[in-house]
A = this chain, B = another copy of it.
């Protein structure tokens, strides 16, 4: 991780973030957020209408850790696999704390039987900050799914 917020460091953070999820290292994933943070999953329609209703919501890293812990205990069954393809970030301007960025994504789901399908597409609306002296973290990530049909029981983060 770099101590500057630019396309290269945003790109590296996104790459590491997707890898944590796909490799089932969710405890490492939560470390990419600031202690006080926002993480929401919503749909494009809700987002366009300014509706706050979210499929998933957390306002702290502790809440994300809780969520991961419950995934660890609940999911005794063998899980399907996910593959994130994360596009290129566009930096959108400075905030009081850091920078806004927007990044498209596509997630593929691979079932135990091998069947492969597009699970979700959308964009990450992020606020990136330098946390402490030199760690780039997500102060906010709003995951805007293109489809309103994305499985609301989704077990893993997007």
B85 touches A104 (CB 8 A): yes
B88 touches A121 (CB 8 A): no
A interface residue count range (under 10 / 10 to 19 / 20 to 34 / 35 or more): 35 or more
Query: Counting CB contacts under 8 A, is A5 at the interface?
Result: no
Q: How far is the CA of A127 from the CA of B146 in the complex (A)?
A: 31
Pick from B81, B89, B106: contact of A83, CB below 8 A.
B106
| Segment at the interface with B among A53-61, A62-70, A107-115 | A107-115
Pick from B12, B104, B116: contact of A22, CB below 8 A.
B104
Pick from B19, B88, B114, B121: contact of A110, CB below 8 A.
B121
A90 touches B147 (CB 8 A): no
A104 touches B147 (CB 8 A): no
Pick from B8, B11, B87: contact of A18, CB below 8 A.
B87
What 0/1 readout, one digit per residue, does chain A (87-128) give for beta carbons within 8 Å of chain B? 111100000000000101010101001111110111100000
How far is the CB of A101 from the nearest CB of chain B, in Å? 10
